[in-house]
Amino acid sequence: MSTLDLKNLWQQQSSSQPSIEEVLQKAKSYKKKSLQSIIVSYFTAIGIIGYLLFIGFYYNPELVLTKIGIGLAIIGTLVFLISSNTLHKLINSIQFDENTRNYIKKLKAIKEQQRKIQTTTISSYFILFSAGMGIYSFELLVALNPNYSIPFAIGTVIWIAINWFVFRPKVIKKQTAKIDTLIQYFGDLEKGTN
């Protein structure tokens, strides 16, 4: 089924549904924004890895524990990059001239990969990165005056908690809502063909 077939089918639907042009525009917009977001994530992750390597080599920490912390943070970032690469390939494979069933299958595969990233991968990344930064910060906290190290440690724990319990759920909800809307639009279209 080509895009023209989708348009003809959509025109036969009841007028309460959005036009096929609107749905295709939303799908193209979703693809574009998703790819842009993944590219920004790549550059951010590569920047983080570069910065951590710079700290590890330039400042040459005295404790092995600090080097282990930097390594854990880099491993956590690499886990995220590898998982995002799979999502990038799925999103890039979307073609808008495919039949509706294939398109819905790809959207569901993207949703499943996003769910995997949002649960397993982000959790692994967060745990490894936080543990790495915590271990890395140990050398700094020991060297600082307790008047500075205690508020620094408390502030870091609060920031990690805010990221995990506030920002992460909002991002997950927003991403899930976007793809669920597309799946619903194309699912309604597919039901109209039966």
Token digits of residue 124: 């692994």
Position 63 scores a pLDDT of 86
> Within a domain: residue 13?
no
> Within a domain: residue 2?
no
Position 176 scores a pLDDT of 81
Torsion angle in degrees (nearest 10) through CA of 37, 41, 42, 48: 160
Position 182 scores a pLDDT of 75
> Within a domain: residue 8?
no
Position 1 scores a pLDDT of 47
Q: How confident is the prediction along the chain (194 residues), in pLDDT tens digits per residue?
A: 445 455 555 555 554 555 667 767 777 887 888 888 889 989 999 999 999 999 889 888 888 888 999 999 999 899 888 888 887 887 777 776 666 677 777 777 787 877 877 778 878 888 888 888 888 888 888 888 889 889 988 988 898 888 888 887 887 788 788 778 777 777 766 665 55
| Owning domain of residue 146 | 22-193
Token digits of residue 82: 């590898």
DSSP the chain: --HHHHHHHHHHS-TTSPPHHHHHHHHHHHHHHHHHHHHHHHHHHHHHHHHHHHHHHHS--SSHHHHHHHHHHHHHHHHHHHHHHHHHHHHHT--TTS-HHHHHHHHHHHHHHHHHIIIIIHHHHHHHHHHHHHHHHHHHHHHS-HHHHHHHHHHHHHHHHHIIIIIHHHHHHHHHHHHHHHHHHHHHHHHHH-
> Within a domain: residue 11?
no
Position 68 scores a pLDDT of 92
How many distinct structural domains can be found in the chain? Answer: 1
> Within a domain: residue 33?
yes
Segment 26-32 long-range contacts (CB within 8 Å, at least 24 positions apart):
26/181, 26/182, 26/185, 27/94, 27/96, 27/103, 27/182, 27/185, 27/186, 28/96, 30/178, 30/179, 30/182, 31/91, 31/94
> Within a domain: residue 14?
no
> Within a domain: residue 185?
yes
Residue given tokens 């991968």 in the structure block = 121
> Within a domain: residue 9?
no
